[in-house]
Amino acid sequence: MKIGFCVVNYSEKPLEEVCKIAAEHGYDAVELPTYTDNGQLDVQELLIGNNAKKMKKMIEDHGLFISALSNHADSPLIMGPYSAGMDSVCPGTREEKIRFGQESMIRSARLAAELGVSSVVAFSGMENYGHINDWPEPNGWKYEEEQFAEKWGYVFDKYKEYGVKVAFEPHPNNIVYDTQSTLRLLEVTDYHESFAINLDPANILFSGIDVNQFVDELKGRIVTVHAKDCEIVKHNLGKGGLNMYMQDGWGRLDRSFRFRIPGWGDVDWKRLISELFITGYDGVLNYEHEDVIMSRADGVKKTIDFLRPLMIDAPYEGRTDKLFTK
């Protein structure tokens, strides 16, 4: 297993400067953003001539490789919501927003193919998250399923052409948000080969889901992982549970959960890494900094120091003495 670095951790800095930070601290790889106006790279510009190869060489010259691309901002528009809140990503009609999201994701697949990267991380989106309940719209979930199969199915087929996978990051307010929804949507899309998962254990944990069970159920579909932790603030749970009122900032003292760097929350990283490895995952854990307490400079150093000793380099070889047959 390798340890990667999400360059959006320092979204205000140029790409090469962030690569230097990652390399100097001993990271192996970088996850690159591809959503529109991300400030670090321009997908359309990179698809011209040899620009993609030049960027890849720059990254490799720092001793790094590209672990994944990510399109978190544009991808939700494929399923919605299409409200004014998303106008900052794409002002326009519902149809214009859908087309914008699909085209952005397909450009990301083209770039991934150019770079030899196997996956693009995405949010699945959802037009009306209230449809997870059967009241007041008993057919709401069925509607969302049909929309998912149609809109994302088109993207999946394009990704198949490029040999790239859509790595959905399960998250509340998205149709792919837990174990059951993921398995169901795999079923309604006929287990499309382009449908994959980016496991963010913090998102899973604060939703009340068993992370290791999720890994077991989705084995073979997890193609990339975010190294992010979540602290369940138990003395605040009684006020509102895991889905408490979440306005007024991530760093509120009375929140029931806080995103943390690996090792500072409630994810059992030894168990998770073991479960990933035994189910066949031998990829990258990309450090994503959303810690509401400590600085990014703290996180960059503490994360690599914590995770490096936990990396599994090779599987068990077996024993040949009389007490063991395998």
Q: Is the dihedral of CA 300, 306, 307, 309 positive or negative?
A: positive
Could you tell me if residue 18 is inside a domain?
Answer: yes
Residue of 177, 228, 168, 180 whose CA lies nearest to 201: 228
Write phi, then psi, for 226 (nearest 5 degrees): -95, 130
Binning the chain into helix, strand and coil, the percentages to the nearest 5 are 45, 15, 45
Residue 103 domain flag: yes
106 in any annotated domain: yes
- The alpha-carbon radius of gyration of the chain (Å, integer) is 20
Tell me the C-alpha distance between 271 and 310, whole Å: 10
Residue 326 lies in a domain: no
Q: Spell 243-275 as b/e; 16+ CB within 10 A means b.
A: eeeeeeeeeeeebbbbbbbbebbbbebeebbeb
Question: What distance in Å separates the CA atoms of residue 156 and residue 124, rounded to the nearest whole number?
Answer: 12
What is the reported pTM? 0.96
Which regions of the chain does DSSP assign to beta strands (E)?
A: 2-6, 29-33, 65-70, 119-122, 165-168, 195-199, 222-227, 229-232, 257-260, 284-287
Residue 147, CA distances (Å) to 107, 171, 262 in order: 21, 18, 36
pLDDT in single tens digits along all 326 residues of the chain = 999 999 999 999 999 999 999 999 999 999 999 999 999 999 999 999 999 999 999 999 999 999 999 999 999 999 999 999 999 999 999 999 999 999 999 999 999 999 999 999 999 999 999 999 999 999 999 999 999 999 999 999 999 999 999 999 999 999 999 999 999 999 999 999 999 999 999 999 988 899 999 999 999 999 999 999 999 999 988 887 877 666 777 788 888 899 999 999 999 999 999 999 999 999 999 999 999 999 999 999 999 999 999 999 999 988 888 887 66
Q: Which residues of 192-222 are buried (b: 16+ CB within 10 A; e: fewer)?
A: bebbbbbbbbbbbbbbebebbebbeebeebb
Alpha-carbon distances, residue 134 vs 131, 181, 245 (angstroms): 7, 14, 22
- Residue 319 belongs to some domain of the structure: no
**CB-based contacts of 95: which residues, under 8 Å, 6+ apart?**
none
Please tell me whether the peptide bond between 91 and the residue prior to it is cis, using omega within 30 degrees of 0.
no
Cα dihedral 177, 115, 78, 99, rounded to 10, equals 180
Quote the tokens at residue 159. Answer: 């990704």
Is 248 inside a domain boundary? yes
- Partners of residue 225 on adjacent β-strands: 199, 285
The residues pairing with 166 across neighbouring beta strands, listed in sequence order, are: 120, 195
Whether the CB-CB separation of 4 and 284 falls below 8 Å is answered with: yes
Angle at the Cα of 83 from the Cα atoms of 81 and 86, rounded to 5 degrees: 80
Q: Is residue 318 part of a domain?
A: no
Domains of the chain: total: 1
Q: Is residue 43 part of a domain?
A: yes
Range of the domain at 210: 2-310
Specify the CATH number for the domain of residue 97: 3.20.20.150
